[in-house]
Structure 1
Amino acid sequence: MITTEYAPGSPCWLDLGAPDVRAAASFYGAVLGWDYESMGASEAGEDFEGGVFKKDGKVVGGLGKLTEEGARPAWMLYYSVTDADATTEAVRRAGGTVRVEPMDLDEWGRMAQYSDPLGGQFAVWQPGTTAGLDLVDEPGSLAWVELFTTDGAAAREFYGGLFDWQFSDMPLPGGAGTYTLITPAGLSEDRMHGGLMEMGAQDLTLTDGRPYWHPVFAVEDCDAAAARVTEKGGEVQMGPQDMEGVGRLAVCLDPAGAEFVLLAPSEA
């Protein structure tokens, strides 16, 4: 499970790059019950810096205008590190690409963004006054992260070397392959925070064959939340369906095409 005790290598933040900030805020507000708090606006009244999503007054994510030429709307996942500069050099040594060099965000912390050697994009956060999200693993918040990659062994080598993650494999039902579970270094399996799955490039149609990370958001009622996705202009790509030992889930796209998963976890 993800907790707000952000151990090194654990997910601690996420933000959405969207072509229309106001439309994205409206969509996720309807689907997940989020409030949007803007951090600024232009003279024309259009958000230029974006802002944060909140659930019951607690920060659950960030939202910003998609400005990178050719970039697709997507959620960016951040992992906690003690030294963003050292992590950046480790990324380079391991064959990754530095997309955004380490930079300070006022007193809140220091961040950097990368691509792994196969093209999967991710980011890191070195905490200052802000350790990460205020709310996780509750309805309407981040509960899990997943990587779809074209080479599971290469992904394990890269991320394992970078974050010292612990991995364990479990077979998927019906011989559908292997799902690799991820736990931060030195922690017990009850602190698992995500998984990775190898898929063919032909199956990664969303990114034209490039690996990608996506968030899983906890909800109380997966069917009701999935219905709100379609009502508000999004798309349900898979489900809702039951996954034994996991819960009921649906793979979704927001109206701009950013992927996320809704999960009503199984009762313990």
Structure 2
Amino acid sequence: MNHDMPSTAATTDVFSTHSVFGAPCWVSLTSRDVKTTEDFYGAVLGWQWRQVRLGDRFRIALADGAPVAGIAGVATMWQMAVAWTPYFAVRSADEAAARVQERGGTSAVGPISLPPGRAALLADRDGATFGIWEGELFTDWPTWRRAQPAFIRLHTRDAFDAAIFYGEVFDWASDKPGCCEVRYEGEEVVLRSGGQVVARIESGAAGSAPDPAIRPHWQVHFTVKDVTACARAAERHGGSVLSEAADEAVLRDNEGAQFTVTSRPGR
């Protein structure tokens, strides 16, 4: 799970999950070897690194000086899969985790206290893993959104059913001020926060019944200027290219974690 959570001293709502509740607010990668992970993402995405107070196993990734992601070298120690996980902002981690379990989801870790907040690692009722975070953020949410993460996409068996699950957990489309907006556009469910597209949910196979071969998962997308250059860098540094187009590529890092690079923010 994400033990690289925010450690700023900011106390205003602009820098907390109270202002952007229900929206993705962070992404984290579990790794077996922090050093090789640093080398890979430094080469592919140009990230720099900052150590955090939790110890040598943890790092913050910086893009042009702005925090964009957390890396936790605990996959082997905690017997966890190497994977990217999105974290959603919540006003109460305990309440959100309870809602997940009430609706058929599961809790893997937490909620636990990680000052200055609380976090949990959860799964929806189809098995897609995600995290929640209550508390202060590394930086204000608009800065994080502009830095490099483009958005996240849920590949699942039934987009409409998944939207109901997450909507009930995160108060999407509620009457609460600042909540996320949800619309069904074409064959996707589109989530917006402050007018920005922050997530999309799609069923397994477009134009047909959901594909039973697709394992439900959240896919993290990073905005880049040159998709081709990222793909070639991934191959040179021990990763692989699962699919590639001029404006988007699905990559695996040197340890097997899957992510997408795109030149089309919000798509």
The TM tier, using the shorter chain, reads 0.7 to 0.9
1:32 aligns with 2:45: yes
Count of equivalent residues:
236
Contact kept? 2:66, 2:144, Cα under 8 Å: no
What is the distance in 1 between the residues matched to 2:255 and 2:132? 25
1:179 aligns with 2:171: no
Q: Which residue of 1 aligns with 2:3?
A: none
The letter for the 2-side match of 1:115 is A
* 1:224-245 CA-partner distances (Å, limit 9, x unpaired): 222211121211111124xxxx
Q: Which residue of 1 aligns with 2:78?
A: 68
The letter for the 2-side match of 1:216 is H
1:78 aligns with 2:77: no
Q: Which residue of 2 aligns with 1:230?
A: 235
Q: Which residue of 2 aligns with 1:109?
A: 117
1:87 aligns with 2:92: no
1:149 aligns with 2:161: no
Change (3 A) 1:10 1:255: same
Change (3 A) 1:11 1:129: closer
Q: CA deviation at 1:251?
A: 1.0
* Structure 2 segments unaligned to the other structure (5+ residues): 1-13, 173-180, 205-209
1:240 aligns with 2:245: yes
What is the distance in 1 between the residues matched to 2:125 and 2:235? 35
The letter for the 1-side match of 2:43 is A
What is the distance in 2 between the residues matched to 1:95 and 1:41? 33
The letter for the 2-side match of 1:54 is L
What is the distance in 1 between the residues matched to 2:53 and 2:182? 41
Q: Which residue of 2 aligns with 1:245?
A: none
What is the distance in 2 between the residues matched to 1:259 and 1:250? 11
Q: Which residue of 2 aligns with 1:11?
A: 24
1:257 aligns with 2:256: yes
The letter for the 2-side match of 1:35 is Q
Paired residues for 1:180-219 under 5 Å: 180-184=189-193, 187=194, 190-199=195-204, 200=210, 202-204=212-214, 209=215, 211-219=216-224
Once structures 1 and 2 are overlaid, which stretch shifts more, 80-89 or 32-41? 32-41
Q: Which residue of 1 aligns with 2:207?
A: none
What is the distance in 2 between the residues matched to 1:196 and 1:230? 29
What is the distance in 2 between the residues matched to 1:234 and 1:98? 30
Q: Which residue of 2 aligns with 1:163?
A: 170
Percent identical pairs in the alignment equals 29
What is the distance in 1 between the residues matched to 2:136 and 2:200? 28
Aligned match for 2:105, one of 73, 93, 96: 96
Q: CA deviation at 1:52?
A: 0.9
Contact kept? 1:109, 1:130, Cα under 8 Å: no
Q: CA deviation at 1:202?
A: 4.6
Change (3 A) 1:134 1:170: closer
* 1:211-230 CA-partner distances (Å, limit 9, x unpaired): 11121100111122222111
What is the distance in 2 between the residues matched to 1:132 and 1:112? 21
Q: CA deviation at 1:265?
A: 2.2
Change (3 A) 1:132 1:117: farther
Q: Which residue of 2 aligns with 1:175?
A: none
Contact kept? 1:59, 1:134, Cα under 8 Å: no
Secondary structure, aligned partner of 1:50: strand
What is the distance in 2 between the residues matched to 1:213 and 1:132? 23
Change (3 A) 1:92 1:131: farther
* 1:107-138 CA-partner distances (Å, limit 9, x unpaired): x2211111111111101111136467784344
Secondary structure, aligned partner of 1:7: coil
* 1:179-224 CA-partner distances (Å, limit 9, x unpaired): 221124xx4xx322010111145543xxxx3x11121100111122
What is the distance in 1 between the residues matched to 2:142 and 2:58? 18
The letter for the 1-side match of 2:90 is V
